[in-house]
Structure 1
């Protein structure tokens, strides 16, 4: 090439000479030339030479990210190990120095280990080296690619957010679910469904105003509607404006949860589209509501509960005890804070419950385990694990139930079922003791008329006579497990 032919040894390419004598056929300055150590030492010894000073991570200055972004001309392949090593071995920039100060402060306040701190520091260097626009804010979608090249994503997102360098462009899981289950639908129908999803997830300030719903609600609606929408598209319907009341009634499943999901989804869908004047009529208006089917609570296996209650894992033993004695829900257990337990009492919302003796024993064992394992954790939640200890978030809904192989809802139902049988159907007692509504309490009281479905439920011998807030009736499997 002309540039290489005219290039003098030891000197950069003279692009002016290239333009005068030939054609520029490649993009300039895309590759950095690494000089040998001998050349670097000789250049440093030259009189009057001034190199750029290294960035002092402790310097007192404020870093401001650039406000512009350079769109990439094309996507480069993932860097190899050699490129990653060079990226993390280079000197720190002002952006990295700013992030390093934020990282040190955040790690000290949240009790991060040295290993995690170093992993995040390395991840920040990788992001800085791969930026299309140096010193610009970093998108969350770029951070989520870090695990593929040996970085850590979740903790790095926290540091970038704390440093005000994060552009959160993450997409909700329900939107991915929506795209996957609506692929192949007619464009007009897809446009209408997209309007509905935006209103469900983000709410609407346009009249009629509407609050955003929980993403799980939209997920269930899509689950029920998706097969019916595809069936309508296969029959030639290009728009939901062509759907009639008869079409909806004929397409709904005969029974079961999917009928409820589809029915509720279409009511929500056509209500939004009618308000946006995207359909002429609401075909679900005036349609009778199908009652949601209820299940009959059944007791759990006593051996499984006893085994989980005596688990060597302190977190499992405490979680099982809280639900088995006080019928907490899985969401309540995950949301418990350390300050919710004081003087042997547990505060749940507006209720204050005295903790049973076996629960207090397992609580003390778990708190000792937590203090030994994560002594510097600042997480205010009672239950923490390896992932949540360096953060302030609650554990996932599967912790610690996945290891226990018991579902909290089933264990809660078992506890309430025991109480309703032990008290002979005292609905008022279980409403006050467990915070149930009258409708929910009647579901358990109805099992008194079904002796076959409650086989194995026996009356316990516990402490009564101390009022509604007293210790609840103990389950039979508690005998011999008081410690």
Structure 2
């Protein structure tokens, strides 16, 4: 309607209903010349719903189609039809399903069953905004402006002496946003600087292109969060990348290499301790926190103290908690109020529980006393005893066979190394590829000849290792999907999970050492073969008194031996392996000239109390001879014990007669 000065809304006597659009027939958004805003070429229509998938945000630029539907219509170039699932008129795929129903299936958990579109239709259709679905490969590289031809110059972060505090603490969520826009928000110069550390670590540890891309994307997302480029990123903020399934540990390592990480994570042992002591009085809680801090960090001033491991702190606190809870229930508000009688009442009566609880309480009160937080040490003069030693037991043959024949190559190799060569769990964790040389294995200062079953399982595991991680730079023998991109060894938990519920490294090692002791029964042989100390070797040779330990029935455990003797004592009449007979005449003369007045029981008591039970020292002390040129004492303590023994029982100067008793057969 040309030459009309009023619109239909402002028409005199109106408003007047505008006529329908001459092109599309719409009765809304009338523009001019008989056309609506969607059809007039000079109009700028607002966004509207996609005419194919109903996503809001489509524009006239692509014919009122979103970018996904534009590709969909080009791929399935066919007339619009009715969807067999929702009944919507749109372009369908070969299965007669529209794009809206296909996108709806991506919101449901993935299963191995065929997609049930009827179930999706009954639960309703969730519409979405147009052009928000991006592919994984977009935005991964360092963002560079399209018109910028000069390369981005990496610039190190500027040092800041301040920290921008947040006005309101809000929880971030990356699931509805994707990674494209967040990765492009990073500062280009700073992103190029961190990229150098990403490529360096990727080359050192053999990362795959996909792993490198994921680390780069995660780093750029975190750099995009910074309001001031160059400030340190909190380690707790890196955990949000787990929502996008990005490697949190590797991103943390790269940021630490670049000097952009502020580690504000609370150690697990501290968080665990806070949970355990919530029911204790405030003063007692402060004292326990002080003890824990000194145990973890140590002390460089007098009295000095070395730091302890987190496992030691957990064990000590677990043992001390029952006593602390008992004192808190009695109305004690601080450990300063604990007396000698309170400790006596809280300790278990006897045995290993008393020894372990006393050890934990002794550590707690010693630290607090040296820190001047308590006045006296109430456990100072209370004997708590020692932990009862146990006798090693053999394993079931059936369980060992299952481990050796396991289809898992890692389990089979672990069982073989532990069962054939008696390695410790720490030695298995630290094994490296360079420790193996053809048929030999180098352990510390020992060179072990590998058995044929071990070599077969080693070859199978190396093939498995190369197949799954061909580019890994981890030097350790055993790796898994978590440490394949690093140089860290496996943990004790991974080894126990591989061995299963019936086998542990300690049990397999005890079974191997027990078998070797019953096969040879020589302490020195065990020391040289497995690198044991004399005391540890004699723990296994002392079981020769029980021959049933050497022949367990398959699938069953042998009859348990009598109760173990306390620490520092020998089994009665147990043979001492490794005792070499004194063949020289001088030794035999001194041996026959020993005092016959000392009873065997008295001699055993003196030997058990004054020696370390080493094989060489036992030979010298039993014969009661002066120091021989070939005799070797294991320590100054045993040399002094031999001197005291000779002073108490001086040998006779008269030569032995025919009636003199022969002590050469003394056990």
Q: Partners of 2:338 and 2:533 in 1: how far apart?
A: 39
Match of 1:81, SS state, is coil
- Which residue of 2 is the match for residue 72 of structure 1? 166
Count of matched residue positions in the alignment of Structure 1 and Structure 2: 411
Rounded Cα–Cα distance in structure 1 between residues aligned with 2:435 and 2:209: 31
Say whether 1:414 aligns with 2:511: yes
Distance across 1 between alignment mates of 2:60 and 2:264: 43
Decide which of 159, 164, 176 is 2:254's aligned counterpart.
Answer: 159
Closer/same/farther in 2, CA of residues 57 and 226 from structure 1, 3 Å limit: farther
Residues 1:217 and 2:328 aligned together = no
CA distance in 1 between counterparts of 2:353 and 2:390 reads 15
Please name the residue that 2:523 is paired with.
427
Query: Partner residue of 2:360?
Result: 265
Q: Which one is further off, 247-256 or 236-245?
A: 247-256
Higher relative contact order (CA 8 A, sep 6+): 1
Equivalent position of 2:376 in the other structure: 281
SS at structure 2 position matched to 1:287: coil
Q: Could you tell me the TM-score, scaled by structure 1's length?
A: 0.79
Structure 2 alignment gaps of length 5 or more: 1-58, 62-144, 555-667
Paired residues for 1:359-438 under 5 Å: 359-405=454-500, 406-423=503-520, 425-438=521-534
Equivalent residue runs for 1:13-28 within 5 Å: none
Q: How far does residue 260 in structure 1 lie from its aligned partner after superposition?
A: 3.3
Superposition map of 1:297-308 within 5 A: 297-308=392-403
Structure 1 stretch 286-295 or stretch 263-272: which is displaced more?
286-295
Aligned residue among 144, 148, 152 for 2:239: 144
Q: Deviation at 1:170? A: 2.5
CA contact (8 A) 2:483 2:490 kept: yes
Give 1:245's match in structure 2, choosing from 337, 340, 352: 340
Secondary structure of 1:286's aligned partner: coil
Check whether the contact 1:241–1:279 (CA below 8 A) recurs between aligned residues.
Answer: yes
The superposition leaves residues 281-312 of structure 1 with CA deviations (integer Å, 9 ceiling, x where unpaired) of 11121322421122222221212212211222
Contact 1:220 1:261 in 2 (8 A): no
**SS at the partner of 2:313?**
helix
Shift of 1:235: 0.9
For residues 401 and 522 of structure 2, the distance between their equivalents in structure 1, rounded to whole angstroms, comes to 26
Q: Which residue of 2 aligns with 1:88?
A: 182
The partner residue of 1:227 within 322, 330, 347 is: 322
Shift of residue 59 of structure 1? 2.6
Equivalence map 1:2-41=2 (5 Å): none
Q: Distance in 2 between matches of 1:135 and 1:397?
A: 39
Deviation digits for residues 146-187 of structure 1, max 9, x if unmatched? Answer: 324543211111111121211222222211121111112122
Check whether the contact 1:298–1:454 (CA below 8 A) recurs between aligned residues.
Answer: no
Instruction: Label 1:37 to 1:446 Cα distance change in 2 as closer, same or farther (>3 A).
Output: farther
* 1: CA distance, partners of 2:270 / 2:484: 30
- 8 Å contact 1:271–1:282 — kept in the other structure? yes
**Structure 2 residue corresponding to 1:440, chosen from 524, 533, 536:** 536
Q: Distance in 1 between matches of 2:462 and 2:370?
A: 53
Return the alpha-carbon distance in structure 2 between the equivalents of residues 306 and 140 of structure 1.
46
- Three-state SS of the structure 1 residue aligned to 2:358 is helix
Q: Cα–Cα, structure 1 residues 74 and 357, in superposed 2: closer, same or farther, change >3 Å?
A: same
Query: Shift of the alpha carbon at 1:452?
Result: 5.2
CA distance in 2, matches of 1:186, 1:119: 48
Q: Aligned partners of 2:313 and 2:60: how far apart in 1?
A: 61
In 2, are the aligned partners of 1:157 and 1:166 still within 8 Å (CA)?
yes
Deviates more, 1:430-439 or 1:74-83: 74-83
Tell me: CA distance 1:78–1:259, structure 2 relative to 1, closer, same or farther (3 Å).
farther
Instruction: Tell me if structure 1 keeps the 8 A contact 2:414–2:499.
Output: no
Native 8 Å contact 1:54 1:91 kept in 2? no
Equivalent residue, structure 1, for 2:412:
317
CA separation of 1:454/1:232 partners in 2, compared to 1, >3 Å: closer, same or farther? farther
The residue matched to 1:318 in structure 2 has which SS?
helix
C-alpha distance in 2, partners of 1:237/1:77? 41
Residue 99 in 1 paired to residue 209 in 2?
Answer: no
For residues 262 and 414 of structure 1, the distance between their equivalents in structure 2, rounded to whole angstroms, comes to 30
Give the number of the structure whose alpha-carbon radius of gyration is greater: 2
Structure 1: which 5+ runs fail to align?
1-35, 39-50, 459-483
Distance in 1 between the 2:489 and 2:436 partners? 16
3-state DSSP of counterpart to 2:453: helix
Deviates more, 1:181-190 or 1:214-223: 181-190
* 3-state SS in 1 of match to 2:222: helix
Mark the CA change 1:89 to 1:426 in structure 2 (over 3 Å): closer, same or farther: closer
Which whole-Å CA distance do the structure 2 matches of 1:439 and 1:389 have between them? Answer: 39
Distance 1:150 1:382, change over 3 A: closer
Residue 492 of structure 2 aligns to a residue in which SS? coil
CA distance in 2, matches of 1:102, 1:116: 14
| Alpha-carbon distance in 2 for matches of 1:261, 1:57 | 65
Rounded Cα–Cα distance in structure 2 between residues aligned with 1:262 and 1:56: 69
Distance 1:259 1:148 in 2: 48
TM-fit CA distance, 1:85:
4.0
Deviations 1:54-73 (Å, cap 9, x if unpaired)? 69776354333544211111
Deviation at 1:317, TM superposition (A): 1.8
Q: Does 1:450 find its partner at 2:546? A: yes
Is this contact kept in 2: 1:447–1:454, CA < 8 A?
A: no
Distance 1:385 1:57 in 2: 39
**Aligned position for 1:59:** 153
